[in-house]
Amino acid sequence: MNLPKIKHSMNLSLTEKLLNFFLLLSGLAIFTIHFFKEMLVPPYEIEETKKQMYDFGLKSLPIVGTMGIIIGFVLALQSYFILEPFGATDFIPASVGISILREFAPILTALLFAGRVSSGIGAEIGSMKVTEQIDAMEVSGTNPFKFLVVTRVIATTFILPLLTIYVIFISLLGSFLALLIEEQMNLIYFFNSVTSFLDLGDISAGLIKTFFFGFIVGIVGAFQGYTTEGGTVGVGRSTTTSVVISSLLILLVDMILVKISMIL
Amino acid sequence: MMDSILLNIENVSKSFDRNKVLKNISVNVYKGENLVIFGRSGTGKSVLLKLIVKLLEPDSGNIFYRNKNLNSLSAKEIIQIRKHIGFLFQSGALYDSMSVRENLAFPLKKIFNLSEKEIIEKINKTLELVGLVSAIDKMPAELSGGMRKRIALARTIITEPELILYDEPTTGLDPITSKEISELILSLQHQLKMTSVVVTHDLICAEIIADRVIFLKDGEIYKEGLFDEIKQSNDLFIRNFFSAKILKDVGVSDV
Ligand SMILES: Nc1ncnc2c1ncn2[C@@H]1O[C@H](COP(=O)(O)OP(=O)(O)OP(=O)(O)O)[C@@H](O)[C@H]1O
Ligand SMILES: [Mg+2]
């Protein structure tokens, strides 16, 4: 794997910065291809993958849960104030449900996950890089790319959809609470109203993209970590860049996927 | 004599950008010997060790391990060779996220098919060798600098490799521990018939373990010979190196 070299310096011109950005993207593309090559060949580090999944999931539960309940609550409350004058509050559960499922839960969970986990992966692998721990793995007959990168990327790819499902339930609960307070809505009515309007398309449209988002979080963090140079300063740079790049890519991919799903 | 060469470095050069670090270096390492590499800071000693395990690749020249040219081996074959080589990193390179026990188990699990019980036995035995059985459940961050060094040493020798590359095994240790570590390296050579290449600035360490010494200067081999010959040398650079070290050891100057 030959990655393009990026020059870091305090005073780069605008063209140099743009060039760096494209170098970074092309490096990321090469890194991703390398990932698929390494992923397919044994040995598989199953233990380490499980450990990372557990770790990423558990670490993110409190923050995405808190976000979920608030988002659900606020969405329902806002819809209530808009629709109440028209006497159309019956539609709230369905409309809020669709928004949460298709867009809010997937994208917001992914962005928080990027902030929490992409940076963590960037920092961990980055500090292992600058303190020669990756070299040490390599000389002890382990393939560090498999052990560190493949395991973490697989873990983020499969744990984010699960987290999103969790957030969907929590935000629906938040919406229900808001409606319970405003309208004394009963749970059965709420539940029926949400499910009668949703079809499989809404659920799959929301969930399929979270696999892409999870992959982005893992691969960007790992890429930043793996290419860290320049001691602890470099580790700091990798950490922040991981969050910025993965968040941007998540938004970009979301836009593309929404566009594609509208054409289909 | 030819068949007792374990490692054969031939006309190797290595630069980083415009910085020519190693210039046409040739070294033979014989089975069972302890070779010490001396040289001032920044002359490329660590780079030389990394070339031997192919963490870095030479710009030109060849390195043969048991007559196999590292340049022409596949990634799989390189892994096979690395199983026989231990590497003690200058910084220790302990895995921060793993306890001492897991650090020591890591190379064992990756290389050998040992049972859980055998792994535990080996870990205990090796920790005993470096005198740190009590640290088994500590995390690297909880260890002192010298303890880290000894755990790193334990992790390097636990697989009983036939060749060990030590990058400054005693730097930063107190004189007594430093002497103990040097004696440990010597006894490993005798007991397990290991071959060692030791990069060091520590003259006491070198005096204890060195069979042969190589002096690197400005990326070239400046002098090569038995430890005692080198020590008696009238060469000004070498005399300076030795005397500066002696002054440093009593805390007079900082080189
Ligand atoms: N990965 C690298 N990229 C760029 N330059 C490097 C790299 N590794 C080493 N160098 C350069 O190579 C030269 C030799 O470094 P090396 O670490 O081998 O020195 P050393 O002899 O081990 O010194 P010390 O005794 O201080 O450990 C230095 O000038 C260093 O800047
Ligand atoms: Mg060095």
Residue of B nearest to A143 (CA): B79
Contact by Cβ (8 Å): B115, A167: no
**pLDDT tens per residue, range A67-76:** 999 999 999 9
pLDDT over threshold 90, residue A226:
yes
CATH number, span B2-254: 3.40.50.300
CB contact under 8 Å between B110 and A140, yes or no, is: yes
* Any atom of ligand 1 within 6 Å of the Cβ of B44: yes
CA distance A25 to chain B (A): 24
CB contact under 8 Å between B53 and A142, yes or no, is: no
The span from the CA of A63 to the CA of A115, in Å, is: 11
So what's the pLDDT on residue A128?
A: 95
CB contact under 8 Å between A135 and B83, yes or no, is: no
Direct distance between the N- and C-terminal alpha carbons of chain B, in angstroms, rounded to an integer: 39
How far does residue B53's CA lie from ligand 2's centre (Å)? 15
Instruction: For residue A134, give both structure tokens.
Output: 């990756």
Tell me if chain B has a CB within 8 Å of the CB of A138: yes
Ligand nearest to C-alpha B56: 1
So what's the pLDDT on residue B255?
A: 41
Contact by Cβ (8 Å): B131, B166: no
DSSP secondary structure string for all residues of B162-211: SEEEEESTTTTS-HHHHHHHHHHHHHHHHHH--EEEEE-S-HHHHHHH-S
The span from the CA of A24 to the CA of B169, in Å, is: 38
Long-range pairs of B179-186 with CB within 8 A, sequence gap ≥ 24: B179/B204, B179/B205, B179/B208, B180/B131, B181/B130, B181/B149, B181/B150, B181/B153, B181/B205, B182/B208, B182/B209, B183/B208, B184/B129, B184/B130, B184/B153, B185/B34, B185/B209, B186/B34
The span from the CA of A22 to the CA of A6, in Å, is: 10
CA distance A124 to chain B (A): 9
* Any atom of ligand 1 within 6 Å of the Cβ of B45: yes
Environment class of residue B6 by beta-carbon count within 10 Å: exposed (0-12), middle (13-18) or buried (19+)?
Answer: buried
Q: Residue B45 CA: which ligand 1 atom is closest?
A: 21
Predicted TM-score (pTM) of the model is 0.87
Environment class of residue B67 by beta-carbon count within 10 Å: exposed (0-12), middle (13-18) or buried (19+)?
Answer: exposed
Phi, psi of B73 (to 5 degrees): -95, 150
CB contact under 8 Å between A141 and B50, yes or no, is: no
Q: Which positions 64-93 of A are in contact with B (Cβ < 8 Å)?
A: none
- For B120, residues 6+ apart whose C-beta sits below 8 A from its C-beta are none
Residue to substitute from A132, A138, A143, A146, interface B, most B β-carbons within 10 A: A132
Query: CA A169, A170, A172, A177 torsion: positive or negative?
Result: positive
Edge-to-edge strand list for the sheet holding B220-226: B85-88, B163-167, B195-199, B34-39, B212-217, B220-226
Per-residue burial over B237-255, b if 16 or more Cβ lie within 10 Å, else e, is ebeebeebbeeeeeeeeee
ipTM: 0.87
Contact by Cβ (8 Å): B14, B58: yes
So what's the pLDDT on residue B244?
A: 63
Residue of A nearest to B80 (CA): A141
Q: Cα dist. A42→A46, A146, A223, B76, B165 in Å?
A: 11, 9, 21, 12, 29
Tell me if chain A has a CB within 8 Å of the CB of B16: no
Per-residue burial over B151-168, b if 16 or more Cβ lie within 10 Å, else e, is bbbbbbbbbbbbbbbbbb
Spans of chain B, pLDDT less than 50: 1-2, 249-255
How far does residue B41's CA lie from ligand 1's centre (Å)? 8
Residue ranges per structural domain of chain B? 2-254
Q: Which positions 143-182 of B are in contact with A (Cβ < 8 Å)?
A: 159
- For B73, residues 6+ apart whose C-beta sits below 8 A from its C-beta are B81
- For A238, residues 6+ apart whose C-beta sits below 8 A from its C-beta are A122, A123, A126, A224, A225, A227, A228
Contact by Cβ (8 Å): A215, A149: no
**pLDDT tens per residue, range B94-132:** 999 999 999 999 998 877 778 889 999 999 999 998 888
Q: Cα dist. B212→A176, A229, B12 in Å?
A: 79, 36, 20
Environment class of residue A188 by beta-carbon count within 10 Å: exposed (0-12), middle (13-18) or buried (19+)?
Answer: exposed
For a ligand 1 pocket test, name from B19, B21, B216 the mutation site with the most ligand atoms within 8 angstroms of its C-beta.
B21
So what's the pLDDT on residue B2?
A: 46
How far does residue A197's CA lie from ligand 2's centre (Å)? 67
CB contact under 8 Å between B95 and A133, yes or no, is: yes
Inter-chain Cβ pairs, chain A and chain B, closer than 8 A: 47
Give me the mean pLDDT over the A132-158 stretch: 93
* Any atom of ligand 1 within 6 Å of the Cβ of B19: yes
* Any atom of ligand 1 within 6 Å of the Cβ of B147: no
**pLDDT tens per residue, range A171-190:** 999 998 988 888 888 888 88
